Every structure is written in C-alpha cells, then in structure tokens.
Amino acid sequence: MHDIKPGQSIDLLKELHILTRDGRMNQDSRRKLKQVYHLFQFINPLLSEIWQEHGGVQLVDHGAGKSYLGFILYDLFFKTLSSASHVYSIESRSDLVSRSQELAARLNFTGMSFLNLSVEQSITSGNLPVKVDIVTALHACDTATDDAIRFAIKKHAKYVVLVPCCQAEVAAALKRRKGEELAKNTLTELWRHSIHTREFGSHITNVLRCLQLEAHGYQVTVTELVGWEHSIKNELIIATLKGLPSQRMAGRLSEVLRTLGLEEMQKRYFTDA
C-alpha cells in the first residue's frame, strides 16, 4: 500500500471507502486520495506554523460533505496534538453530519466537531470559536465555496485554502444578460456560445473570489492542485491575511462586475467585514 502515508489510519480509509474491507484500492479511490494528499502538502506548513506560534490550531472545513478532508487532516496532523487544536466540519445536510459524527466516535477522533449549520448560522454560532486560524473547502459545490470565503472574512481567518467546484451561479447570470449585453459590449463574445458561457463563468467566478479576498486584505496565490489528468476541478486558491482591506482591489472587483454586466452579483462579492 505504497500510496498511503505512514501513520495513516487504515480503519479510517476503509470507513471512507477509499480502501475496500480487504485493504485494496481502485483507481478512482487512488485518484481521490492523491488529491487530498496533495492538498495536505499545501496545508501542512500552514498548520505547523500556526501550531508553533500559538500551541493550537482551529481549522474549519466549510461545505464539508462527507468530511473526507477534515478526517484525513485530523488523522495526519491533529490527532497527536493537545486539546487546544480542533477541526470543525460545517455541512448543511443533516444526514452527512450524523454519519460523520458516528464515524468520529468509532475512531475516537475526539478533536473533531460536525455542525449542521447554514453559513449565516456558522458565522454567529457559539459552537465555533471566535478566532479561526484556517478555513478550507474542498470541492464544495457552487456557492458553498463563496460561503467559506464569507465565513473566513467574517472570522478574520489567517489562511483560506480552497479547491472550488461546480461554479454555475455566475454562468447563469451571464446567460440571463447575454442578449442585452451583446449589443453594447464586444467582450460578450467571450461567452456568447453556451459552452463558453459555462467555461468563462467558471473562470470568472474564481477571479471574482480572488479579488474579493484581496479586497479584504488577503494575499492570494492561485495554482494547480494536481495534474489535470486527475481532476478537471483543479484550481487551488490559497489566501493569507496580510493587512487591512484594500479599497483599490474593491474598486477593481466592482469594475469587473460592471464591465461584465454582473451588477446583480454585488451583494455576493461585497462582504462586510
């Protein structure tokens, strides 16, 4: 089992159906595990830095789904740390939260919490710490990535690590305004055809997310998570809180929305800190 990191819980990988009951791994599971391990390589130095500085790490995984990422991060990094460190998984589907709670109890992963909350509830919930160090979202569908960003900004998280997925909201807005914009904006040619609407909408969504983070004082790096042969949802956004909100970047964000005829998206991307 050379694909598995030393110290990784075999029982966990079986429970997550990455390994079969007899310890085998199919190609799809190997690909999924490789993505999470690659993401861990990016997150691990951030976790180590915070732990060394503060003696504890508070990580929130937003739009957690089945909590693959949270469980593996806990298994590889958190399980040997003191009670000052904790992983919080936030998911709006109650059945997935219940399953994750049961699995954590079976594995004795006592430093994990699974919360059935909306984004609004998570920002004000007393079940989450006032201070959050890292916010993650791995393949959180459509607006769940935006929810993670909004939560991170509200909590002044030092680091935000995102791998977005299924970005449809902006594409839908572009499609609604397409006929109106064609006559007055030649840039509309970038998304006139349906396939381009989808692809450009996905691309511009992540551009807007980066501008939103930069407007709130984050330094942003965008790179690939793994090779494109492993996943088409492969963009990795890492943001580090560096300073005060930037009016210049907020202005650029507003201008991009105006240029593309996306003024209706102002409310989503202008999050009050």
In a domain, 19, yes or no: no
Q: Residue holding tokens 């990795």? A: 236
Task: Compute the average pLDDT of residues 100-126.
Answer: 93
pLDDT at 4 over 50: yes
The b-or-e profile of 94-130 (16+ CB within 10 A means b, else e) is eebbebbbebbeebebebbbbbebebeebeeeeebee
Give pTM, 2 decimals.
0.91
In a domain, 234, yes or no: yes
- Nearest CA-CA partner of 89 in 130, 43, 138: 138
The CATH number assigned to the domain holding 102 equals 3.40.50.150
Q: What per-residue confidence (pLDDT) applies to 272? A: 64
Question: For the chain, how many structural domains are there in total?
Answer: 1
- Give per-residue pLDDT as tens, 191-235: 889 999 999 998 999 999 999 999 999 999 999 886 554 445 678
In a domain, 46, yes or no: yes
In a domain, 17, yes or no: no
Q: What per-residue confidence (pLDDT) applies to 233? A: 66
- Give per-residue pLDDT as tens, 149-192: 999 999 999 999 999 877 788 888 888 888 777 777 888 888 88
Residue 125 domain boundaries: 36-269
- Region of poorest pLDDT, from 7-16, 57-66, 177-186, 250-259: 177-186
